[in-house]
Structure 1
Amino acid sequence: MKAIRAWLLVFVVGLVLSGVTAFPLLTETRVLAGVLHAVPAPGPLVAWIDRVHEGLTVTGERYPFIAYGTDWLAFAHLVIAIAFWGPWRDPVRNVWVIHWGMVCCAGIVPLALIAGPIRGLPPWWTLIDISFGVFGIVPLIMVHRLTKRLPYAAPETAIVDRRRVGVTAES
């Protein structure tokens, strides 16, 4: 159970961090651009971050309501993180949440491969986006594997739905 919770914590922390960092995008890109200009950094990366910062700045000045979309993105990450409270409490009963999370992680790959080029993102940035799904699915695979073992663990050490595994009060 401790290993399951540790892997879930890794996943949830990742969701929360990616969520809260979607709120201050303008500040983050300004700081990142400043750092990249101060250190040796690949030219295409510096140019891309400068372009993103400029896009956020101009959009924020002329159309500040567009940032509301990233506020909802951030909120969605936080709400999704809350969904993993179920597996934290009872992974066997809530394994469907783990399955759903794995499907979502897998869905990042086609989304990035389709939407990235349509939106004009550099191919290397699309790979960064894909990495969220690839790295995100790892803790969920571990949780799934560990959860599959739980119904067979000793009843006093596992949280299981006794009706599902055929344990009755008489046994």
Structure 2
Amino acid sequence: MAAWPFLMESPGRGGDRLRVSDVMSFAGGSGVHGTERREDHRYAPAMDTEERLRRIRRWLWIVLVGLFLSGATAFPLEIEVRWLLRALDPLAADLPALVGWIERVHTGLVETGDRYPFMLYGTDWLAFAHLVLAVAFWGPLRDPVRNVWVVQLGMIACAGIVPLALICGPIRDIPWFWTLVDLSFAVGAFPPLWFAYRHIRAIEAAGAPAAPPVSAPAA
């Protein structure tokens, strides 16, 4: 059974499908790069290497852009939350819990910025960490087989979002509906990483040479 059908490609032509058995196989450690493993029919080449490389880079660009936007938008938090509050204000009667939460967050950002501005230095580092992770994905974009560990790290990070949100959210007084928003980052990022990972494994199984580096654009 495939999850996230909106991300599926044509299964009849070796497209990308996310299966529970595949995820369990990765979680069990059978897909660690550089270890001995048996040939697996799931990674048998069903398309040429160039097509797989194009798909790998397409999926990884989605993750890279998402990380970059997450980092860039984590700097002007107070301004963004203020705009969001204004946009949601007409819905205050219909969504009182959501609007009330956004208003509380905005108040906290304003008061913290006025009285304890150094506390927001932590969110600056959060933004920087997202940008660094985005840069790290340039490695698998250039050579996905050699840098498959970055993709594996991304999938592990997605899995780690779940316990973090479910455990720390209630401790930090985060409402349940915003915990779902936090969990959506894992739901949104894991499928493209997994699809890219499967194509990388297929290239490995086929014994194809590593991808040629992506040349930097001429100045």
Question: How far did residue 127 of structure 1 move?
Answer: 1.0
CA distance in 2 between partners of 1:159 and 1:72 (Å): 33
Percent identity, aligned pairs only?
Answer: 57
**Structure 1: which 5+ runs fail to align?**
161-171
- What is the number of equivalent residue pairs in this alignment? 159
Structure 1, residues 142-161: CA drift from partner, whole Å, max 9, x if none? 110111111355857x628x
Which of 12, 15, 27 pairs up with 2:67? 15
> Over residues 79-118 of structure 1, what are the superposed CA-to-partner deviations in whole Å (9 max), with x where a residue is unaligned?
0111111111111111111111100111011000111000
Greater helix share, 1 or 2? 1
Q: Which runs of 4+ in 1 moved over 6 A?
A: none
Runs of 5+ consecutive residues of structure 2 not aligned to the other structure? 1-52, 213-219
Residues 150, 159 of structure 1: 8 Å contact kept: no
**SS at 2:174's partner residue?**
coil
Match status 1:44 vs 2:97? yes
State the distance in 2 between where 1:155 and 1:125 align: 44
Whether contact under 8 Å (1:106, 1:134) holds in the other structure is: no
TM-fit CA distance, 1:30? 0.6
Q: 1:97 aligns with which of 135, 150, 165?
A: 150
What is the SS of the residue equivalent to 2:173? Answer: coil
Q: Give the Cα separation in 1 of the matches to 2:131 and 2:86.
A: 29
Distance 1:155 1:137 in 2: 25
* Superposition RMSD in Å: 1.7
Matches within 5 A, 1:76-95: 76-95=129-148
How has the CA–CA distance of structure 1 residues 159 and 152 changed in structure 2, closer, same or farther, with 3 Å as cutoff?
Answer: farther
